[in-house]
Structures are given as C-alpha cells and as structure tokens.
Amino acid sequence: MGVAISGLAAASILNEADIFEIETAGVSKKITKTLFRQNLFIDPAEVAPVSGDVLAHNGTDFVFIAGPSPPSRWTVINQIAYTEAAPATSSTITFAGGAPSGGFNRKGGDYFSVGLPVRVEIGAGVFYYGICTAVTDTLLTMSGAILPISPIISLTFGKLEMVKHVEMSVPAVTYNTLGPTIPLVKGCLHRWRGAPGRLVAYSCSHMNTSGTTVVNLKMNGGTNASTAGVIPAAGTATTHGAFVDSALGDLIQANLAIADNQTITAVVTTAGDTADFLVICMAFVLT
C-alpha cells in the first residue's frame, strides 16, 4: 500500500544519495540528487568558473567556457618583416623594407615611431625591453638592454602610455667623497611606485665645470645598470651643461628591473668626483 506524501517525515536537508521519483515515457524511475543536479545545473564538483567565463549550453548540458582574452598590450610583428636570425647590433634590428609580402608590411616605419616601447624575445621567455630612438624602412634603433647576437623569437611593440619617465634632482653641490660604492648625498634616492618596469635610458646634466664625473644607477640596491655610466657635460656655476644620454647597447639586462616600493639609487664610480645640482632623467618601460 502506498503512503501519502503528507504522511512522510519532513527532511531538513538534501543528501547527495537521496532518491527522487521521475517518470520517463510512463515508467516510474528513481534518480539521485547528484544525477538530478548534473542534468539540470552545473555540478560544482566538476567545474569551477573563473572570472571572465561565460555560461553556455552545448546541446546537452550547461557549461562554463572561457571568455574572450583581454587584449595584449604588446602587438606582435610577423617574422617576415625583420631578420630573425639575430639583431644587427646590440641596439639595432634589420627590417626587410620594400612592399608588403603575404599581407604583411615589411618596413620598420610601418610598426615603429620614435618613443614607442620595444620588446625583443631572445631565448624562450627572455625579454629585452627598450624604446625606439630612430627608425627607417630597413633598420630599428633602440635604447635599452644590450641585445645578444642570437636568434630573435619574437618582436613586439607597445603603446606610448607604457613608457614612464622619472626625474631625480640632487640639491647638493658635491658628489659623494667616501667611495664609489656609497650613494650620492642629499636626494640620491627615488622610490618606485606602481607596475614593474625596466630601465631603458637615462640622461644627466649638472652645473659644474667638471666633464669627467661618471654617474650610474642601481635598481633596488643592485649593481650598476650601465656598463660605462653617463658623464654629464661641463656646465658653469650658474647654468647646467647639456644633457648626455646613456649610450645605446650599454644597459645590462640583469640589472634593470624595478618593482613597487623598491628604490632607485644614483651613484658615482670614482670617489671625490664633484658636481652641482645634478639632474637625472630616466625612462622605463612598464612590463
């Protein structure tokens, strides 16, 4: 004899093994809570959606599929456009030039203009950052890390807003006199805030008649970023000398990274070098 539903004890929770009655083509059948959920809803035991996923129906079940990927900040250049065998020098890359081929432009100027950030992959997952300083149909010139003369895996360009400029002014009339490993005095530090970056160039100017002082930079207390450093042009007691830029193909790849809350330190390489009111202008590419 059957029992009326009203005569059953009330359940306060549903267990995975609990059984429900369903009817299929006039035939009564039983189904568990687990199977019921898997057929009508998303089973959280089988799929965990992440931010950006989209709920869709595949003809049988509702499923989560990956949503569209956010656009990359870097635009890849097809390898038909440039010489991938190796950079031409430690700061230049050769382009094919001429008319488009296979639907791809082949001139350097089709992709780059002065000031745009550059990213070169040489060695799987090893990226060298710089900014375009000159470009022709057949040659890209960039400041930044020294490029090894090895095969180029990928070449990309970024957006102008990915370049960050930082200025450091030293309101002092002398450089450090204690030795080359001691930072400059009075204002030689800058605290980096924001996204990680890579130093790609720096320039120096001062108000001293000396034309021999060598200025270098250290990221987060590391070692010198530049191979040769920068020697500011001689000025006068009342005027700054001309800005002098770090040389192309001079910055050391391993010493250029900076991250949030880390410090940039200006140093001199020779004890006793002097200058007045040093100004250092730095350019970084946000990675």
56 Cα distance to chain centroid: 34
Check the CA dihedral 245-250-256-262 and report its sign: negative
Which CATH number fits the domain that encloses residue 130? 2.40.30
Give me the domain span that covers residue 132.
Answer: 75-158
Average pLDDT over residues 137-148: 97
Judge contact between 135 and 77, C-beta under 8 A. no
Which residue from 201, 185, 187 is spatially nearest to 256, judged by alpha carbons? Answer: 201
The answer to whether residues 110 and 130 belong to one domain is yes
Residue-wise pLDDT for 25-71, tens only, equals 888 888 887 776 666 655 555 556 666 667 666 666 666 666 666 67
Q: What's the confidence (pLDDT) of residue 128?
A: 98
Number of domains in the chain: 3
Count of CB atoms situated within 10 Å of the CB of 161:
9
CA–CA separation, 252 and 202 (whole Å): 13
Residue-wise pLDDT for 190-240, tens only, equals 899 999 999 999 999 988 777 778 889 999 989 999 999 998 898 888 889
Residue-wise pLDDT for 228-264, tens only, equals 999 889 888 888 999 999 999 999 999 999 999 999 9
The answer to whether position 174 is within a domain reads yes
Average pLDDT over residues 82-86: 96
What are the beta bridge partners of residue 141? Answer: 92, 134
pLDDT at 143 over 90: yes
Judge contact between 118 and 142, C-beta under 8 A. yes
The structure tokens listed for 163 are: 């370049």
CA–CA separation, 18 and 34 (whole Å): 8
CA–CA separation, 133 and 130 (whole Å): 9
CA–CA separation, 73 and 160 (whole Å): 11
The answer to whether position 271 is within a domain reads yes
The answer to whether residues 192 and 276 belong to one domain is yes
- Average pLDDT, rounded, for the chain: 84
The answer to whether residues 23 and 137 belong to one domain is no
**Can you tell me which residue has the tokens 């002398």?**
174
Alpha carbons within 13 angstroms on the beta-carbon side of residue 284 total 23
pTM comes to 0.73
The answer to whether residues 45 and 90 belong to one domain is no
